[in-house]
Structure formats: C-alpha cells, structure tokens
C-alpha cells in the first residue's frame, strides 16, 4: 500500500513522459510474432526464447533505448493548453488538443478535491507504458452508446474529454481524462475489467522526423526520369504540420485540407510544405509525382502530436478515397494506430512512413514498424546511410533523404531526415499507380522489395532494408 501511495503522490507532483523500449513488428514475412517479440526481448517472450529466436533467425534486432523518466517539455504544454483543475497547487499538467470531431463536450473541471474511486477491479496488473504519452489521458474504444461512455467515466472517476465514431477503427473512440493523478497504466488495467471497453491505449505522443539540415538528386538515385515523372490525378494523403499553400511549388497541388487540431495556432509550416513539395511540387522545385493531388491533414505543431489527433487525421484521409498515405512521423507502438493502419491497408491504401532519426540503438519507430507499412530510411547522394537513422528488421526500403532542396514555409530549404525519404517513396509510388491504376498495394510492395538496389550486406538487412528504391525496375516488374 505504501508503494501505491508513492506512485500516486509522484503522479500528482509532476507530469512526465515515461520512456521505455517499444515492442516491434516487422514486414519480414520470415519472422514469426514470437521471433519478433524475442528480437526485442519483450516480457511476453520471456525465458521461452531460444538464442536463434532472439536473434530473429540470424538477424540482429535494433537496440532498445534505456528506460527512465523524461520531463515534459514546455512545447507540449503549449500543444495541450487546457489542463484540468487541480485540488492543490502543482506543476502545470497538460491537457490534449481538442478533437475537431468531438460529439461530446468535455466534462466541467472538478470544483473541489477529487477522491480516487476505491474498490475498483484490476483485470490485469498495472500496465507498463512505453514511449511518450499524455500523462492524464487514455484512449478507449467502447461498445455502446453515449450513456455507456458516461457510465464508464462515472464508475472509474474519469472525464469524457471527447468521443467520436472512427471509420478506420469501426467503433466509438473515447478520450478519457484522469483528473485525480492515477498513473495511466493503472487506469488502463481498471478499464480492462469493464466488458464494454474493447481497446485501451495511452494517448501516445509522436514526433516529426526531420534532422538538422543540393539540387534534388533523388530523381537520378531512384531511376526516375524527371521529364516523364507523373502522378497525375493520383490522390495522396499527407499527415503533417500546417503548410504554406501560397508557396509557388504547391500551386494547384493541394486538393483538400483538414485541420485535426483547430484550437492550436499554426506557428510552423516548413515540414509539411517540404513533404508535400517533394511528393508533388511544381515549377523549379518539382516533386517526384507532378500532377498528384495532395490531401493534407494538419496534425502537428512544434513537431509534436498525440494519438487522438493523428487518428482523427487518418480517418479524414480514409474518407478522401486516397491511394497513398504519407506518415513522416515516429512514436511508440500503439494498438489503436496499428488497427487503423491495418484497416487502411485492407481498403487498398499504400502506407508509407519514416523509419525514424533516433539513431542505431533506438527502439523501433511506429507506425513504420507495423506490418503493411513501408518503412523508409534515408540515404545520401552517394547511397550512404544517414548516420542518425533508426535500424531494425522493420526497415523496408532506402530512399534519398539527406541534404535535399525542398520548398518550405520560408520559400525553400535544405532538408535531411527519414521524413523526406518517405516523401520521395510516396511520390515514386504515385508514378506506379498513375501508370497502372489497377496495381494493388500488395503488388506494389512486392515489386519495390524485389527490384530495390541491394546496399550493405547481401539481401535484406537492418540498415537499408531491401535496398535503394529503383522505380524504373519496379514499374517493369511483373507479378
């Protein structure tokens, strides 16, 4: 009981992001889920892993970052501007961005001290939560109507901060607030005891993948003729920062926009502008797929977003009937995001994501590490790997992403990062779809893997994946 009191007291005193290794999945069809678990030495794998399984059948997995607490940066305080009322003075605790599609107003802040409910059942031990997350919220899918949503909140002493019907999740997604300082892991375990809750996840925080930053050499390196490149009328969704839609490189490129965090002012437009421009820019800063139609969802500010906001952007993208979704961001594993990606892929969308810029020993980056997502790492003009790129069996493909000129919120800039390598791949895939509209997502993924230029050790490896994108060869590949 004393230990529990210490945990609750610590949660009341400071809002922190909890850092822990993420659990990986991989696109490699030769690895079983047990091998993947062992690859990352997860608790679930335990002592049952043989040496071969732990090594992924001879493949070495990415190292995991050391655990520990990372104090909440001021940036996230700005991103989540409405902290709940506290019974006593305490360090500012952030509240999340408001969902633009909420159908229920947030519950009013408590008027006095909150007593945590007692006698609640724990259906499982308190959950260890990996990665960065909003410290006073959980995301839950609920079977039932608004009455059931509120009953769950009342029973567990939670606040209904937003709820909406998610197309990709196929159910009601509720963002519950934890006003009394209980750890997220404890609340997730308490929610598991209620049969009306289907999935229960932290509201994870994700980061855009831009490294510190010459003519765009990508056309040459991926074997794409700039004079013949075209993604005409191919619909591509981009989930990113706000954009400078007045930039000449984006003239006529943006077919639709959606702001998944309308209550947060736009301060930066560089990252999203660069990604859109590299995919389908026109004029002097031509992208990989001129003529493609970009459906842009703004879901990041100051380089950060939350799971709730990203899911809202993904649902909007799915409603636009896009063929490709570009996700140039990275965060911890989250089952809700995995489900949304799996269902988007089932609808025929090609999912492209940045592998991450957090270094060789970083944990796997998501959504890139989910099955069915093309995880892209970055190479330079000489096909060398970007030193700060993530490594791991989930890395699928390499593409140019080091020191490239791209449009930005201030005109143009030299950019570096797996974010931009992912944009190059999304644009290249738009060329494939333009040339052969009936080509399926599975066929495209297989062609990219089979025709990539092998880099590094022979065969697929943890640094370069299958190798450098060769779009000319992929276009000619036959199933």
If DSSP codes are grouped into helix, strand and coil, which group holds residue 60?
A: coil
C-alpha 409: how far from chain center:
23
108: how many CB neighbours lie within 10 A of its CB?
A: 8
Residue 467's Cβ-side half-sphere holds a number of Cα atoms within 13 Å equal to 20
CA dihedral in degrees (199, 203, 208, 209; nearest 10)?
A: -60
- Active-site residue, selected from the candidate residues 240, 259, 308, 461: 240
Is 240 annotated as catalytic? yes
CB atoms within 10 A of CB 161: 25
Show the tokens assigned to 44. Answer: 């679930």
Helix, strand and coil content of the chain, in percent to the nearest 5, comes to: 30, 25, 50
Best CA proximity match to 409, nearest among 245, 189, 229, 207: 245
Say which DSSP state 456 is in.
S
- The answer to whether 137 and 96 have CB atoms below 8 angstroms apart is yes
Helix axis angle for 270-280 and 418-435, nearest 10°, is 30
Catalytic residue among 130, 244, 259, 271: 271
Q: What does the alpha-carbon distance between residue 443 and residue 232 come to, in Å, rounded to a whole number?
A: 20
Around Cβ 264, how many Cβ atoms within 10 Å?
21
Beta strand extents in 149-234 (DSSP E only): 159-166, 171-177, 197-208
CA distance 469 to 479: 18
> Checking DSSP bridges between strand 293-298 and strand 254-259, what pairing results, if any?
parallel
Element of type H or E holding 326:
strand 324-327
Active site residue 419: yes
What is the spatial distance between Cα 6 and Cα 10, in angstroms, rounded to a whole number?
A: 6
Nearest-angstrom CA–CA distance, 191 and 431: 46
Strands (DSSP E) contained in 260-322 are: 293-298, 304-306
Strand pairing category for 197-208 and 329-330: antiparallel
Active-site choice (166, 207, 419, 426): 419
Q: Say how far apart CA 180 and CA 359 lie, in whole Å.
A: 37
> Which DSSP string corresponds to 31-55?
--HHHHHHHTT-TTTGGG--HHHHT
Structure tokens at 5: 């009191």
Which of 28, 63, 66, 33 minimizes the C-alpha distance to 48? 33
As annotated, the active-site residues are 240, 271, 419
């Amino acid at each position: 009981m004393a230990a529990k009191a210490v945990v609750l007291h610590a949660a009341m005193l400071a809002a922190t992001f909890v850092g822990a290794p993420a659990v990986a999945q991989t696109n490699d069809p030769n690895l079983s889920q047990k091998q993947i678990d062992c690859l990352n030495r997860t608790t679930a794998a335990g002592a049952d892993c043989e040496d071969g399984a732990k090594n992924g059948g001879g493949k070495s997995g990415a190292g995991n970052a050391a655990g520990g607490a990372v104090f909440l940066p001021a940036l996230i305080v700005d991103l989540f501007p409405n902290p709940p009322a506290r019974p006593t003075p305490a360090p500012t605790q952030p509240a999340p961005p408001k969902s633009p599609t909420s159908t229920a107003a947030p519950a009013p802040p408590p008027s006095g001290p909150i007593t945590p409910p007692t006698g609640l059942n724990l259906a499982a031990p308190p959950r260890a939560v990996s990665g960065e997350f909003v410290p006073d919220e959980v995301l839950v899918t609920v079977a039932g109507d608004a009455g059931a949503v509120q009953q769950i909140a009342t029973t567990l002493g939670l606040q209904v901060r937003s709820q909406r019907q998610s197309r990709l999740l196929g159910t009601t997604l509720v963002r519950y607030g934890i006003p009394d300082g209980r750890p997220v892991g404890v609340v997730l375990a308490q929610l598991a005891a209620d049969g009306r809750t289907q999935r229960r996840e932290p509201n994870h925080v994700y980061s855009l993948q831009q490294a510190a930053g010459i003519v765009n050499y990508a056309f040459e390196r991926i074997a794409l003729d700039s004079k013949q490149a075209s993604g005409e009328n191919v619909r591509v969704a981009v989930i990113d920062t706000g954009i400078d839609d007045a930039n000449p490189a984006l003239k006529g490129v943006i077919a639709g926009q959606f702001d998944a965090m309308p209550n947060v002012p736009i301060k930066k437009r560089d990252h999203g502008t660069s990604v859109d421009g590299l995919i389908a820019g026109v004029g002097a800063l031509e992208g990989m797929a001129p003529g493609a139609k970009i459906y842009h969802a703004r879901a990041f500010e100051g380089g950060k977003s939350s799971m709730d906001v990203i899911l809202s952007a993904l649902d909007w993208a799915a409603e636009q009937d896009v063929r490709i979704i570009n996700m140039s961001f990275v965060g911890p594993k989250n089952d809700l995001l995995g489900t949304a990606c799996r269902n988007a892929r089932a609808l025929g969308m090609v999912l492209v994501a940045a592998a991450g810029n957090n270094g060789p020993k970083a944990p796997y980056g998501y959504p890139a590490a989910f099955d069915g997502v093309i995880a892209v790492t970055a190479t330079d003009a000489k096909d060398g790997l970007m030193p700060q790129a993530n490594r791991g069996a989930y890395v699928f493909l390499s593409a140019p992403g080091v020191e490239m000129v791209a449009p930005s919120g201030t005109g143009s800039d030299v950019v570096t990062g797996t974010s931009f390598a992912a944009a190059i791949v999304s644009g290249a895939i738009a060329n494939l779809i333009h040339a052969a509209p009936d080509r399926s997502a599975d066929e495209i993924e297989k062609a990219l893997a089979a025709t990539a230029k092998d880099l590094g050790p022979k065969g697929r490896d943890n640094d370069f994946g299958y190798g450098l994108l060769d779009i000319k060869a992929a276009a000619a590949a036959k199933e």
